[in-house]
């Protein structure tokens, strides 16, 4: 689970803005953390008063920070995207083996619950907000760097593209709120490792269709 300090680095203090008081910042981050957890567990339509209850704040505090669901969803998407980008950059720095760096990122992104973005992105908020576009580009560039290095080193099969990694990652980590499969999350890292084994070079099969590029993903939004 993320801490208030970790989340604060991604989603609360914008350049050119006055930094809020420490107690106000803590409340805001508690709300974002609680919303992120509950969106994963129950879907993006969870009652906001339940989010406030889990965050340990009153409804008035929640609405003072986020006047509507769209504003809260925006902040959660921004926070998840930012933290996932940080995991990609950390993996590139920590691992000298390019494929190990890619693998480290994939498993770390699963822990950030990046798949939870999928149902959130279907909501009625501005997906083309400049903040979100900038953070998405930062994530794409970080993952693209991991893929290119692994491919250049001959460790990654050459018939895939960055979009394939992001699509598989989002699908394999997408939460299924309300299903009668308790404990299904314990299989996530197991299935991600099967996916990663399929990415290794030399390729052991011929993939149908064409590689999914970032442009394909943008057109499909």
Give me 30's structure tokens. 């508690």
Confidence of residue 172 (pLDDT cuts 50, 70, 90): confident
Torsion angle of C-alpha atoms 176, 83, 72, 185, degrees rounded to 10: 20
- Name the 3-class secondary structure at 121: helix
Say how far apart CA 221 and CA 215 lie, in whole Å. 10
The per-residue pLDDT for 112 is 86
Residue 15 makes CB contacts below 8 A (sequence gap 6+) with none
**Distances from the Cα of 190 to the Cα of 105, 106, 126, 131, angstroms:** 15, 12, 35, 33
Indicate the average pLDDT of the chain.
85
Model confidence at 67: pLDDT above 50: yes
Average pLDDT over residues 97-108: 97
Query: CA–CA separation, 63 vs 79, rounded Å?
Result: 18
Separation CA 112–CA 139 (nearest Å) = 13
Look up the CATH architecture of domain 24-67: Orthogonal Bundle (1.10)
Q: Find the distance separating the first CA and the last CA of the chain, reported in whole Å.
A: 29
Quick one: tokens of 221? 């939004």
User: Which pLDDT score, from 0 to 100, does residue 214 have?
Assistant: 85
| Distance from C-alpha of 48 to C-alpha of 74, rounded to nearest angstrom | 14
**Angle of helix 162-172 versus helix 188-199 axis, rounded to 10:** 160
What is the rounded CA–CA span in Å between residue 142 and residue 69?
29
pTM of the model: 0.83
Residue 180 has pLDDT above 50, yes or no: no
* Domains 24-67 and 70-220 alike in fold: no
Alpha carbon distance 12, 109 (integer Å):
21
> Where in the chain are the domains?
24-67, 70-220
Listed in sequence order, the residues at least 6 apart from 9 whose beta carbon sits closer than 8 Å to its beta carbon are: 82
Q: What is the pLDDT of residue 184?
A: 62
Return d(Cα 98, Cα 43) in angstroms, integer: 35
Q: Per CATH, is 70-220 categorized as 1.10.357.10?
A: yes
């Amino acid at each position: 689970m993320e801490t208030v300090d970790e989340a604060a680095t991604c989603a609360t203090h914008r350049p050119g803005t006055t930094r809020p008081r420490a107690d106000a910042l803590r409340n805001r981050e508690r709300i974002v953390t609680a919303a992120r957890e509950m969106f994963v567990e129950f879907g993006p339509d969870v009652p906001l008063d339940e989010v406030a209850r889990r965050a340990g704040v009153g409804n008035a505090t929640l609405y003072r920070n986020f006047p509507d669901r769209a504003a809260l969803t925006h902040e959660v998407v921004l926070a998840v995207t930012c933290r996932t980008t940080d995991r990609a950059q950390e993996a590139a720095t920590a691992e000298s083996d390019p494929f190990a760096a890619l693998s480290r990122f994939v498993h770390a992104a699963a822990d950030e619950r990046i798949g939870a973005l999928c149902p959130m992105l279907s909501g009625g908020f501005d997906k083309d907000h400049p903040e979100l576009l900038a953070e998405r580009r930062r994530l794409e560039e970080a993952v693209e760097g991991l893929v290119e290095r692994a491919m250049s080193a001959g460790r990654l099969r050459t018939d895939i593209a960055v979009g394939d990694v992001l699509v598989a990652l989002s699908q394999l980590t997408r939460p299924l709120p309300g299903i009668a499969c308790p404990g299904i999350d314990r299989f996530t890292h197991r299935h991600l490792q099967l996916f990663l084994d399929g990415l290794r070079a030399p390729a052991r099969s011929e993939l149908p269709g064409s590689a999914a590029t970032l442009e394909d993903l943008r057109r499909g939004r």
